[in-house]
Structures are given as structure tokens and as C-alpha cells.
Amino acid sequence: MVIAFIYQMFFVGLIAGAIAAVLTSLATEEADIVGVVGLVVGTVCGIPAAIFTFRDRWRTIEAVSSRYCAGMLNLSILYVPTIAWVYANVRAVQKLGGR
């Protein structure tokens, strides 16, 4: 679950930070400023998005993703966090839709 939470922070933060960095690069030529703006916007957007996605759903997401565990840590760590991440996003979209 923690790995899926980090996936979500990284995914949303990467998208938001990249958009902010591109928009900032149109306004300035300073590479340092573009990088800092992208990092700050990515962090500010990624953490709350991950909290919203996983809030009040930890047990449900964990129960669904644990069904797919192979019983071997080395194997399960490769794919179970991805299953948890996808299911968490499906649940978040359902919550936004009112279900």
C-alpha cells in the first residue's frame, strides 16, 4: 500500500510539475527557476492527490490487492503495488462520480 501511495504521489506530481515547468519555461530562460517551480508544484499537487485517492479506502484497497499476492515477497512486490494503485484510482474516480 505504501508503494502504491508513492506511485500516486509521483504520477500526479510528475504530470502537474511537468505542466508547470513547461509554462514557466515559456516565461523565463532560467533553468534553475523552471526546475524549482516544477518540483514545488509537483510536490504541492502530488501529496494531496495521493491523500485524497487513498483516504478512507486503505482497507478496501488492501483487501482487493492482497487477493493477488503469490505468497512470495520477491514476486509479489513486483506487481501487487501496481494492482493497488490501479484499484485506488478506480475507486477515486467512482468517488468523484458520486458512488
Q: How many CA atoms lie within 13 A of 36 on its CB side?
A: 5
CA angle 94, 14, 62 (to 5 degrees): 40
Residue 14 binned pLDDT confidence (cut-offs 50, 70, 90): very high
Q: Where are the alpha helices (DSSP H) in the chain?
A: 2-27, 31-54, 58-66, 73-96
User: Going by C-beta distance under 8 Å and a sequence separation of 6 or more, which residues neighbour residue 62?
Assistant: 1, 84
Q: What is the pLDDT of residues 24-42, one digit of tens each?
A: 999 988 889 999 999 999 9
Q: Taking the model in full, what pTM does it have?
A: 0.81
pLDDT at 74 over 80: no
Query: What is the pLDDT, as a whole number, of residue 94?
Result: 87
Domains of the chain, residue spans? 2-96
- Rounded to whole angstroms, how far apart are CA atoms 85 and 3? 8
